[in-house]
Amino acid sequence: MFRRLLDWLEDRTGVEGAVKHFLYEDIPHSSGWHQVFGSVALFAFLVQASTGILLALNYAPTPGEAYDSLRYILTQVTAGRLMRALHHWGASLMIIVVVVHMIQTFVWGTYKKPREATWIAGVALLLLTLAYGLSGYLLPWDNRAYWGTVVTTEISALAPGAGPLLVRLLGSDGTSIGAVTFTRFYVAHVQLLPPLTVLLIAVHVYLVRRHGVTPTPEDEDQPRKKFYPEQVAKDTVAIFGWFAVLMGMSILARVPLGHVADPTDLSYVPRPEWYFLFLFQFLKWFEGPLEVVGAVIFPALAVIGLVLVPFLDRGKMRLVRQRTGAIGLVLLAAIFWGGLTARAVATTPETREMDMSLVKPWQEISAGDMASIGLFRRAQCGSCHELGKSGVGPDLTAAPSSRPASWLEEHMKSNLKAPGLLTDAQVQTLVTFLTKRGDKAVEAWRNAPQGAVEGALIYQARACASCHRLNGAGNDLGPPLNGVVERRDRAWIEGHFANPPKYSSGSIMPSSQFKPDQLKLITDYIMAIPK
């Protein structure tokens, strides 16, 4: 039955014959493990395409909303965090495999006549891969994305002659970027680059088939092999290995989301993605008017050099172990790239930016609301008012209370489990909370960790809000506490509590002596509040 279906399909379309033709291609006897990288690169592209399409299904491609929708993917959508990690790490691992593929062809010298066009198509594919990296970098629309892309557009402005045109093409005014640049990067990433890539891959693979896999001089007297099954099996093993690394990284290594892009945040120090770090470091060598050499002329010459490789090296095919010049060049390039990258990593200050995809509602509500949740728990109001259910008393999370404040006050005082469990001021705090709380506070009410709630109770008891602002509530006599974790470390904050003037001269903050456990609670709490 199945056979008949296949025969019918073969007769009408020839698809089975085409597949067989593809699989039973003759390849040289010497083919083997060193030739698996092209297949892996193709597979990497397919992974990027499919995860990219899936991400796009939950992504709003406008500045601002892009950030919110990515945060939604990371915190709300099933498997969303994994999908984003696959796309993020997949990009890096794709760059690696594409470069390894290129190094292999270079070292073996397989670009030589008649395969020059195959090599040039490959160089174009490498540039496309890098273009995905550059355009995709902006799409999360966090500070990293924004400031990184500002640098990209400013570098393109340096291009001799074409600079102003390039800047206009990228939708920038030369100093800042906005909605137009964002949209152009998005369109490039999802509408222009993919069809170009598919086209070039088709050309590249067609040319490989047209000229056949390159034989070595030793292949002359050897019988040829079939692509399937031996080489296909080797390719599959390599793809499996590449994919296993990708899955492992995606599960184990969290990809953070920074603060939403802020063009006024001048404290942000942008860094490019790791594979461009060497260029970033390289630029430091060129000062003033020479900058254009490092930023534009050198990269352009490097690309032109790559394209010209098959025309510069036109000797006869030689065995790979005799190609010492090529191997030496690769080693030199590796040292150049590795040294610059290592230097860039070493001089990059450690980022203290919070991962905003991990921020929970309790970290975004006022300390007063958090303290109220603490009072609600401490007074065991939940034994009658179970959250999310109507029990002995009504469910208080369904809607803000519509009772008059006087009624609520009276109700609380007459139903306390023990007299004096809440002071009058604390009753007032709780009444305000019950009538005014927002949706985020309800979420926090259900699941804020008790330690953070205790920290907020200390914050409230010490009246920190009479000088400091935190999540919109409090005064501005002292510095705002949002994002303090990005400015100070734990030792500084804890030491500062005991002796403020020692840490910031002229401080009028009174010193606070805490017991060790209390000091930890209050410090943990304020360090959890995002910028």
Give contact residues for other proteins (rule: CB under 8 A): 20, 24, 26, 29, 47, 50, 54, 57-58, 60, 65, 68-69, 71-72, 75-80, 82-83, 86, 221-226, 229-230, 232-233, 236-237, 239-240, 243, 247, 388, 394, 397-399, 402-403, 439, 442-443
Q: Which is nearer to other proteins, 19 or 187 (CB)?
A: 19
Q: 59 with 69: CB under 8 angstroms?
A: yes
Shortest spacing between CB 448 and other proteins, in angstroms: 15
Shortest spacing between CB 245 and other proteins, in angstroms: 12
Q: Which is nearer to other proteins, 164 or 404 (CB)?
A: 404
Shortest spacing between CB 501 and other proteins, in angstroms: 43
Q: 452 with 525: CB under 8 angstroms?
A: yes
Q: Which is nearer to other proteins, 114 or 229 (CB)?
A: 229
Shortest spacing between CB 226 and other proteins, in angstroms: 6
Q: Which is nearer to other proteins, 75 or 507 (CB)?
A: 75
Shortest spacing between CB 429 and other proteins, in angstroms: 22
**How far is C-alpha 495 from the geometric centre of its chain's CA atoms?**
35
Shortest spacing between CB 438 and other proteins, in angstroms: 9
**How far is C-alpha 221 from the geometric centre of its chain's CA atoms?**
51
Shortest spacing between CB 430 and other proteins, in angstroms: 19
Shortest spacing between CB 391 and other proteins, in angstroms: 15
Shortest spacing between CB 444 and other proteins, in angstroms: 12
Burial 458-494 (b: 16+ CB within 10 A, else e): bbbeeebbebbbbbeebeeebeebbbbbeebeeeebb
Q: Which is nearer to other proteins, 68 or 265 (CB)?
A: 68
| Cα gap 232→479, rounded to integer Å | 63
CB atoms within 10 A of CB 355: 13
Shortest spacing between CB 150 and other proteins, in angstroms: 25
Q: Which is nearer to other proteins, 51 or 129 (CB)?
A: 51
Q: 314 with 113: CB under 8 angstroms?
A: yes
The closest of 30, 45, 33 to 91, measured between CA atoms, is 45
Q: Which is nearer to other proteins, 80 or 374 (CB)?
A: 80
| Cα gap 177→147, rounded to integer Å | 9
| Cα gap 35→487, rounded to integer Å | 50
Q: Which is nearer to other proteins, 225 or 318 (CB)?
A: 225
Cα–Cα separations (whole angstroms), residue 238 to 86, 234, 359, 518:
18, 6, 38, 54
| Cα gap 347→90, rounded to integer Å | 26
Q: Is the peptide bond before 400 cis (omega within 30 degrees of 0)?
A: no
Instruction: Determine phi and psi for 476, rounding to 5 degrees.
Output: -110, 25
Q: 374 with 454: CB under 8 angstroms?
A: yes
Amino acid found at 210:
R
Shortest spacing between CB 480 and other proteins, in angstroms: 24
- DSSP 8-state symbol, 214: P
DSSP for 320-364?
Answer: GGG-HHHHHHHHHHHHHHHHHHHHHHHHSPPP----GGG--GGGS
Q: Which is nearer to other proteins, 343 or 403 (CB)?
A: 403
Q: Which is nearer to other proteins, 25 or 116 (CB)?
A: 25
Q: Which is nearer to other proteins, 29 or 343 (CB)?
A: 29
Who's near 147: CB < 8 A, 6+ residues apart?
A: 268, 269, 270
| Cα gap 366→368, rounded to integer Å | 5
